[in-house]
Structure 1
């Protein structure tokens, strides 16, 4: 009888833990989905939302890059705050910031403004910066998943990140394109509403997952400087060239993709629905590649070969888009965009894995964190440079410049030290 009661008690405890785990997973999933969904709804529509204020490439590039800059500068602090004060308050504040940033953006693009007024542009930049500062939700939500999952089961739990990001990349452009048919500002209002729903779920369902005994002191100010470790990792003889290639890749890729919709709008006269479809194609292809194909492909061909192949595909897609002369060849354009997405889906995880495998175990966290910082920095610098090139040198110039930089990236990857070549050899079956 005692054993039976003990078994019942253990079952009750397990059921109670499972009940706590479900709202925690739901909160983390919605937070991750909101992080991608809000950006993938707004970003493809920026040229249309900006049309009444500043239709030039420079403003578009700066507005696109401001989000990444804010995220780059603040993400280390957000991670440290969640380690010191807990996950729940940090996620709550970040999601609330997302509601404020998106709401300010929605209000600004919905109001009638006098011509030549700078105020709406200032408000739009403020909105994007607030949203970028609040963009540490993904890292903190990932920490929540790590808190509640044993180490041997974290790979499955982290699969939620890929599912949420994949859904965000697919649903965002689709929802944005469909709603923009009614009003171009409507998708931003829907993104704001989803962020508000996310905030309500977090406030009502998310428990604190980081116990008091595991809290850490805030690091020194210099340790929170996002630039502090970049020079160290770039000067590392084992991974410096690969990290430089990683930075240049994201600078080039995010540069020409930032002006892609503006190019479609001005070159072909595309409206929001067609333009956002191109990003829907990117979401579908990238999700398929990174969600299911990358593992078997790495096992068969190795990261080094896949990185070079992916870079080649991105260059092909980058050059194919401006070669299309008429809007009637939409199928060719979507094919080119699919090639871009396929290439990017191969490059990003393969190049990250190459860096990881070159490092000793002790250097993993620091270097991989620096890779994320390099990605954010490249995502900030690329769009303004591409926008300036678009205005000054012509609409085709960002594509040509990106292809040139990507050739340099191929040189860095191909010429990087490959000890014994064993870490990039395909597995023998």
Structure 2
């Protein structure tokens, strides 16, 4: 194809990397960034969840717009939104609000921070559209290889984000946000100057009905399918639980162990490395050996163990216990997420794959929105360790749903077909 030159793949890769990098730089530093505004878990949880809410609401529309008007204008608009959202976040954090008489003690800074996160979340459809670019320039024979760039970009983002965030925070806690904004700006320039349009006018589609762009409609459809209803509920609850206790994780480290940005971001760096190794190299052989069903339950067991270890850590052994716990958490998550997706896919056979698997992304975003505020309120009202006990209870419910989501004939316990 005339578009399949390296520069096109490079633009898609940088866009995917930017999508993950901005989030993985900012997220581990949120309690430190908010320190001059608030120290409660509720605000942190709502701020962490607002990004996912915006993504959940607007991703279907962004995908439809790219099919109707082309990939380049949609990617450019989304990356510009990322620049605006991150820039607003960085500017708000850099202003000395106490020196402004009419703004000191007001909710204006928090409102601007929420606005920045929402704008960044609305424009978070870049990953799906960049994936569409890779599909446009690939033949069926090399599509899997092209899509491998998505995993590489996401893995690098989860590793480089905490690494750079922790390093730069040693100079200034707001510097990592400015660097993330600069990277998004570089991404925008690259898209505008280098990326060609890969979706020609003759291949474009009309906009779907408004009803079809409602993410709740797609979720309702998947939950009325008895073949995957329990497994989809398990998928939703898993991300609700996991994103809940991880949202307050750094706040817990900061307040209980008196950790600074360096140690806190190192914990997330461990998560990025382990998750990338598991999903990038180990998951295929493990699925062939044990099957998705066993790996899902084993992964849930690992996540529960990791979640249990963190509140049991003491100040004198915090670093060793916490780093071990987050490595176990990452191992478990790296097993659960692809295996549970595969279980849903196998239950559907050849029908309804696209709609149902697309709905899983919506369920993940919805769980990522509800979980952090729920954990934040629990943190403030029931105690600092309560989000971890709540997470363990929810994860046990997930295991029960998965165990009961397959027929007694043992479907899903066999090795995945190669």
TM-score range, shorter-chain basis? over 0.9
CA separation in 1, counterparts of 2:136 and 2:59? 19
| Contact 1:71/1:134 (<8 A) preserved | yes
1:144-201 C-alpha deviation (Å, 9 max, x unpaired): 0000000121100000000000000000000000000000000000000000000010
CA distance in structure 1 between the partners assigned to 2:373 and 2:175 by the alignment: 26
Taking the aligned partners of 2:161 and 2:153, their CA distance within structure 1 comes to 11
- Give distance in 2, aligned partners of 1:418 and 1:205: 51
Q: 1:69 to 1:428 in 2, by over 3 A?
A: closer
Q: Deviations over 1:269-313 (max 9, x none)?
A: 000000000100000000000000000000000000000000010
- In 1: Cα distance, 2:322 partner to 2:166 partner: 17
Q: Does 1:221 align with 2:210?
A: yes
Shift of 1:236: 1.2
Alpha-carbon distance change, 262 to 79 in structure 1, aligned in 2, over 3 angstroms: same
For residue 289 of structure 2, the aligned residue among 300, 306, 310 is: 300
How does 1:137-286 map onto structure 2 within 5 Å? 137-286=126-275
Alpha-carbon separation, structure 2, partners of 1:134 and 1:155: 26
Tell me the TM-score normalised to structure 2 length. 0.97
Given that 1:48 and 1:184 are in contact with CA atoms closer than 8 Å, whether structure 2 keeps it comes out as yes
Question: Structure 1 residues 421, 48: closer, same or farther in 2, change over 3 A?
Answer: same
Alpha-carbon distance, 1:361 to partner: 1.6
Deviations for 1:178-227, whole angstroms, at most 9, x for unmatched residues?
00000000000000000000001000100000011110000000000000
CA distance in 1, matches of 2:55, 2:148: 23
Deviations 1:391-413 (A, max 9, x none): 00000000000000000000000
Q: Deviations over 1:6-39 (max 9, x none)?
A: xxxxxxxx9xx48x51110010000000000000
State yes or no: 1:108 paired with 2:70: no
- Unaligned 5+ segments in structure 1 are 1-13
Shift of 1:66: 0.3
- The equivalent residue for 2:349 is 360
Matched, 1:79 2:68: no
Q: Secondary structure at the match of 2:215?
A: coil
Counterpart residue number, 1:49: 33
Q: Distance in 2 between matches of 1:42 and 1:281?
A: 16
TM-score by length of 1: 0.94
CA distance in 1, matches of 2:6, 2:416: 38
Shift of 1:327: 4.8
The equivalent of 1:392 in structure 2 is: 381
Aligned pair in 2 of structure 1 residues 327, 35: CA closer, same or farther (>3 Å)? farther
Q: How many residues align?
A: 413
Partner of 1:35: 19
Contact 1:311/1:343 (<8 A) preserved: yes
* 1:348 aligns to 2:348 (yes or no): no
Q: How far apart are 1:417 and its partner, in Å?
A: 2.5
TM-superposed CA distance for 1:419, in Å, is 6.2
2:48 maps to 1:64 = yes
In structure 2, how many angstroms separate the alpha carbons of the residues matched to 1:428 and 1:93?
A: 40
Q: Is the 8 A contact 1:75 1:136 kept in 2?
A: yes
Instruction: Report the alpha carbon displacement of residue 424 of structure 1 after superposing the two structures with TM.
Output: 2.4
Larger radius of gyration, structure 1 or 2? 1
Change (3 A) 1:222 1:267: same
Cα 1:300–1:208 change in 2 (3 A) is same
Q: Distance in 2 between matches of 1:286 and 1:51?
A: 29
Contact residue 292 and residue 416 of structure 2 kept, 8 A: no
Q: Which runs of 5+ in 2 are unaligned?
A: 99-103
Q: Is the 8 A contact 1:268 1:327 kept in 2?
A: no
